[in-house]
Amino acid sequence: MSSIAFSCAQCQTRSCSNPNRNYPEGCMSAKAEENGLLAKSLAEFHNKEEIMAISRAAAAVEAEYYCLAPRAEEIIHFSRKMSYTKIGIANCVGLMTEAQQFVKIVEAAGLVPIGVACKIGRTDKTHLGIPEEGKVRPGGFEGICNPVLQALSLNEEQTDINVIIGLCVGHDCLFTKYSDAPVTTLVAKDRVMAHNPVGALYNLNGYCRRLLHLEETK
């Protein structure tokens, strides 16, 4: 069980979205005001031009295209508002078709797509100390996903924004960590849920009920 007494995930009031409501006991907004984190965060917006620009562009896209544009289109509108021209694409090789479709959208918008797939470098998993039995298909070449090289390659190309298409859990963390450009996600990989991770949450009381008992199945 978590030692945290209260978090936003437990909140039923959404008082942070309504100035006429009182914060519930232990509210994270109240804590942020009390410990100075709210003021510190707002200072970041006002003191760093890029942070302010990204925030304003994101707000503008939300206001102008709310429930009108799919995420792939929102990325284009956001990029235009930020005057981005080079769009990096970090994709899983298993979603090459999806990456190629997104490239068509980027090109049609007059922007420049630069894609780097996860198996770049063609390095066997044994290079990372992974034994043969640790492979999906033991006994032959099985390339590592190299999100660090993906990020470094796109850094070299001086992309303005990088878009994740289906990187594995963990690999997306490393890609984001090493990317010089801001990173957004178009596709979150979920092999079981047809790359729609929220489907498991919607089915938590049905087909995905076992997710509530993972501790029992270790």
The angle at the Cα of 119, spanning 116 to 124, to the nearest 5 degrees, equals 155
Model pLDDT for residues 26-36, shown as the tens digit of each residue: 899 999 999 99
d(CA 123, CA 103): 26
Model pLDDT for residues 171-208, shown as the tens digit of each residue: 999 999 999 999 999 999 999 999 999 999 999 999 99
Model pLDDT for residues 107-127, shown as the tens digit of each residue: 999 999 999 999 999 999 898
Across the range 15-19, mean pLDDT stands at: 88
Percent of the chain predicted with pLDDT > 70: 96
Quick check: 145 and 162 in contact, CB under 8 A?
no
Going by C-alpha positions, the residue among 136, 145, 208, 210 that lies closest to residue 173 is 145
d(CA 140, CA 15): 56
Model pLDDT for residues 77-110, shown as the tens digit of each residue: 999 999 999 999 999 999 999 999 999 999 999 9
Going by C-alpha positions, the residue among 131, 180, 189, 130 that lies closest to residue 156 is 180
The yes-or-no verdict on residue 217 having pLDDT over 70 is no
Across the range 40-57, mean pLDDT stands at: 96
Model pLDDT for residues 156-165, shown as the tens digit of each residue: 999 999 999 9
d(CA 169, CA 175): 11
Percent of the chain predicted with pLDDT > 90: 76
Q: What is the pTM of this model?
A: 0.90
Predicted local distance difference test score (pLDDT) of residue 218? 52
Going by C-alpha positions, the residue among 122, 110, 111 that lies closest to residue 163 is 111
Instruction: Quickly tell me which residue has 């080079």 as its tokens.
Output: 86
What are the tokens at 144?
């590592």
